[in-house]
A and B are shown apart, each in its own frame.
Chain A
Amino acid sequence: MAQQLKQLGDSVLWTKLDSAASWARKNSLWPMPFATACCGIELMAASSSRHDLSRFGSEVMRFSPRQCDLMIVAGRVVMKMLPVLQRIWQQMSEPKWCISMGACACTGGVFDTYSVVQGIDRFIPVDMYIPGCPPRPEQLIRALLDLQDKIQNTGTVHFTEFAKRETPEGPVVFEADEIARIRNQDRMKLSLPIYNPRH
């Protein structure tokens, strides 16, 4: 046996399964761009040719949460948007991570008004915070590299990072005709069609 292993020489690499899985994950992060304001422009700049986020294995921006494992919240989130943000976060499959980009996403920034959420970390978990208004693309790349370190150091193939989970189910899926049903209910409630002034 030992003799055979020796013969394999450099063609085999030894590692732990955990670290191999983390290595694969960290180098193929698929970001979900949740860009609601000006920071989104920097996010676009980061993934375009000059700064080229794809050098770090993270270029596949997907607009379906089912395909993503990294949510980048770039911009301020208002009260009306927060339920959407939470739903999208819950729709993403595990393992998943979240970057909060810019002063607004981290703390609400200058928008301390009645409708702007003062930091998304009050309502969803966040792994990396990027300061700045807006942060430069380099800062986003730095955050991505730091996140890769974090994934390498903490990730396990058995998902023990999620072991404490008590309620496994995500958002309740819509039934086939549910959306149509809700619309019909609304129609009765509001006596739609909307353009029917009573006069």
Chain B
Amino acid sequence: MSCKDNLDKLLPGKSRTWTKFKDQDRVIVPAADLTETMRTLRDQCSMDMLVDVTGVDWLDYEGAKDRFEVVYCLLNVESGERLVVSVMLNEPDLEVDSMTSLYKSADWLEREVYDMFGITFKGHPNPKRLLLPELFAAFPLRKDYPVQGRGERHNFPVITRAES
């Protein structure tokens, strides 16, 4: 039985949007249901690996209703079945439950999403930036952030020949 039927049977009556792309199931769940859904998927549908967590900024995209999407890619290691779970978020409420309690691999992946999109994860054990310097003030993968930055890279002291 596929994950899709399984999930609909185990958690009936929840609002969920299923789509399919190249034989791969994708589901959008409300942010409030995320932990429950993921827990069910892990414990009862044997989705035992969280392959990736990433974000999408749908700003100005044709036909898009929500701004941010957080994407979780799951894998059943034994059967090879995959499922993409995503959550839609809008400003100003950019917070979603952390999956670190279910999957250890979510730790750094969620930190990266925070780093690039500024989405915070409730209950994350170490909510810091992963790649950018601690003092970086913006979230560079948002679509309203200029490609060349806002001058962050120029704020360093200049060492001249006379003083080095």
Contacts and interface: CB of A to CB of B under 8 A. Distances in A.
Interface of A: 79-80, 82-83, 86, 89-90, 112-118, 122-125, 161-162, 164-167, 170, 190, 194-199
B132 interface: yes
B152 A196 contact: no
Chain A interface SS verdict (over half): loop
Contacts of B80: none
Interface of B: 100-101, 104, 107, 123, 125-126, 128, 132-133, 136, 138, 140, 145-150, 152-154, 156-164
Nearest to B140: A114
Contacts of B104: 197
A197 B100 contact: yes
Contacts of B126: 190, 194
B2 to A, nearest CB: 30
Contacts, number: 78
B115 to A, nearest CB: 12
B153 A112 contact: no
A162 B153 contact: no
A196 B164 CA distance: 43
Nearest to A87: B159
Contacts of B107: 197
A154 B8 CA distance: 80
Contact of B101 (A112, A166, A197): A197
A167 B163 contact: yes
Nearest to B154: A122
30 contacts: A79-B132, A79-B152, A86-B159, A90-B164, A112-B147, A113-B148, A113-B149, A114-B138, A114-B145, A114-B146, A114-B150, A114-B152, A115-B132, A115-B140, A115-B152, A122-B154, A122-B158, A123-B156, A125-B164, A164-B161, A165-B162, A170-B164, A190-B126, A195-B125, A197-B100, A197-B101, A197-B107, A197-B125, A198-B123, A199-B100
A161 B132 CA distance: 38
B153 A115 contact: yes
B159 A114 contact: no
In the complex, the 9 A-B pairs of residues with the closest C-beta atoms, listed nearest first: A114-B149, A199-B101, A125-B161, A164-B162, A197-B125, A165-B162, A197-B100, A124-B159, A79-B153
